[in-house]
Structure 1
Amino acid sequence: MRAPNLRQIEAFKAVIETGTVSRAAELLHVSQPAASKLLTHLEEDTGLQLFDRRRGRLVPTERGMRLYEEIDRIFAGVKQIERAVESIRREDNERLLIGVMPGLAGPFIRQAVAGFLKRHPNAYVSVAARSSQFIADWLIARQLDVGVISMKVDHQHFEAEPLISQPLVCAMPIGHRLAKKRKVTPADLVEERFISFSPGSHTQLRIDAVFRKFGLTPTVGLDASMAPTVCELVAAGLGVTLVHPLLLESVRGRVVVRPFDPPTPLDFLLCRPREARNMDLVDAFVDETRKAAAEISRNLLSD
């Protein structure tokens, strides 16, 4: 076995992220046969079967996905170095490094950043959409100035405060029979195809606890790791779900929302180092995130 080279790793990462060899080749500015050759040599050099070949398509194996996760972690660190170099080169003290969980990386963070830049138009802003654990780790390492996460993390070097506490709501396709109800209960959902978040996730643990309290179990037909995917599956008519209202902005107008009873609050957390280097910028951003969260939730629930 030989050590893989950087070009092989880039080709492998591109195929995983784009879904096909042809799109990966375009991204890397090489021919499709050249991209395929890089993948073949990577498997030969590592001695790992990274893909299953199914009807002309490459499907990542479990080992392939494990390798991708490690590669993605390393590339994320390299990107962070690149941002640090750019910041030093600009010699710009007005910079804000933000981490946000993927479910909030769409309309919510766009609105919060827009409000922040109205107050600090010369600031340099970098937004990284990563898992809550990644963001917590980067805050501890002082690679971020502020983060929005879902999980509770206790650490002496940073503090966390609730962003907005809202009860979970039931999201369903337009025209669904439960849309006639003013509130939806666990009993209403038992016979429905339920779209869950990944088992063990913060949101799904809260949902499971509510159903257990009533001695019920939802009929899970689909699950997804990312909130935008869960919401898109609902909008496509494939089932119903329970979700924080702030995560539904991307499908607003394409789903029906009803209150869930019993009220089940779910918090997102704003986290920052206890001794931030640019406290004024962090305070301004925190203020704008609260405004954006309140406005988006209010508008969605008023619909």
Structure 2
Amino acid sequence: MPRHLNLRQIEAFKAVIENGTISRAADILHISQPAMSKLIAHLEFDTKLRLFDRVKGRLAPTEQGMRLYDEVGRIFAGVRQVENAVDAIRREEQGRLAVGVLPALANSFIQKTTTAFLRDRRNVFCSVQSLSSQWIVDWLIARRLDAGLIGAGYDNPYVTLEPLMEHPLVCIMPRDHELSDRAQIEPQDLDGTPFVALTPETIVGHRVEEMFETYRVKPDIVLVANAASIVCEFVASGLGVSLAHPLMVSGLEHRLSVRRFAPEILYNFQLCRSTDSRNARLIEAYAHELREAASQISGSLLVER
């Protein structure tokens, strides 16, 4: 006779789907492989559903399995909301700050900022998550974060947004590039030059593309990427040049040459927090460190030659 489903079976099912194999799922749940296999077998028996196909010794989720996984995801999302509420209550009693940062700034910039923030606040626990701007906003609304650093162009009535660290884009290039002899780079300097571009779907990529069209410049696009960190790495490796916000270059100064670019293409990030944030004092202190670190990095990159 089928038994009632239990949470351990659901946890095992979720772990197998997300980790791909019985062995990895067993490691995640700290149980043996035979015990994991037994949980999955009992779940299939109790539900009368074929949740997995056995393909060359591996488990491949069936359509029924994926439909069940979607439902399980909703259940665990509800559990996470409760955990988030508990965490928010704890943060009201303790010195805790949860920060989200978009990948473009998940480099030495955020490390320097957070280290400076914690230096005189030994009683504060800080967590930093690298997430897309949209996820940061969603997590702020769900109270999983206290503050976030996101890109320009995002808006949401449930969060407070403050433009931060506006700066013209700079031209970045390999250390030995022929353009590194110039103090300032202009559009015509990039005509026919190997160029590593951000996708036009990003705000920076779109503005750079518009500038090229305005000045009738056609660089040799050798690679397109959707993240500034990828662009910077390929430029540092010698593939070409690019345009980026100075803070996106943080940590790569020793591998890149950075030059002013004219005409100015301004770009800013945004500090965001929930509209009813209860951690305002720590958020303001963190914002101060953001501005200080940004000023230092931008200044050091653009020292007059």
1:236: how far off?
A: 0.5
Work out the CA distance in 1 between the residues paired with 2:262 and 2:74: 40
Aligned amino acid, residue 16 of structure 2: Q
The alpha-carbon distance between structure 1 residues 281 and 222, as it changes in their structure 2 partners (threshold 3 A), is same
Moved more, 73-82 or 90-99: 73-82
How many residue pairs match? The answer is 266
Question: Matched residues in 1 for 2:78 and 2:231: separation?
Answer: 28
Opposite residue 244 of structure 2, the aligned amino acid is V
Aligned residues: percent identity?
Answer: 40
Aligned to 2:40: none
| Contact 2:247 2:298 survives alignment (8 Å) | yes
Query: In structure 1, what is the Cα distance between the partners aligned to 2:208 and 2:147?
Result: 28
- The equivalent residue for 2:158 is 157
Residue 156 of structure 1 aligns to a residue whose secondary structure is: coil
Which secondary structure does the structure 2 equivalent of 1:299 belong to?
helix
2:103 equivalent to 1:102: yes
Kindly report which structure 2 residues correspond to 1:1-303, keeping only aligned pairs within 5 A, or say none: 5-12=13-20, 41-43=58-60, 45-46=62-63, 92-302=93-303
Residues 123-180 of structure 1, C-alpha deviations (whole Å, 9 max, x = no match): 1212111011111222233332111111322333222222211111111111111112
- Letter aligned with residue 142 of structure 1: R
Matched AA of 1:176 = H
Asked if structure 1 preserves the Cα contact closer than 8 Å seen for 2:192 and 2:218, the reply is no
d(CA) in 2 for partners of 1:83, 1:38: 38
Structure 1, residues 262-293: CA drift from partner, whole Å, max 9, x if none?
11111111112232111111111111111111
Q: What amino acid sits opposite 2:200 in the alignment?
A: P
Distance 1:136 1:88, change over 3 A: closer
Could you give the per-residue CA deviations for residues 182-233 of structure 1, whole angstroms, max 9, x where no partner exists? Answer: 2111211121111111330121011112112112333211122222211111
Which amino acid in structure 2 is aligned with residue 45 of structure 1?
Answer: T
Question: Alpha carbons of 1:91 and 1:156: their partners in 2 closer, same or farther (altered >3 Å)?
Answer: closer
Q: Report the 3-state secondary structure (helix = DSSP H, G, I; strand = E; otherwise coil) of the residue aligned with 2:262.
A: coil
Contact 1:8 1:38 in 2 (8 A): no
CA distance 1:11–1:299, change in 2 (3 Å):
same
Give unpaired runs (5+ residues) of structure 1.
15-21, 49-70
Question: For the structure 1 residues 284 and 133, does the alpha-carbon distance in structure 2 shift closer, same or farther, using more than 3 Å as the test?
Answer: same
Q: Which amino acid aligns with 2:123?
A: N
SS in 2 for 1:191: coil
Higher alpha-carbon Rg: 2
CA contact (8 A) 1:11 1:38 kept: no
Q: What is the TM-score when the length of structure 1 is the normalising length?
A: 0.75
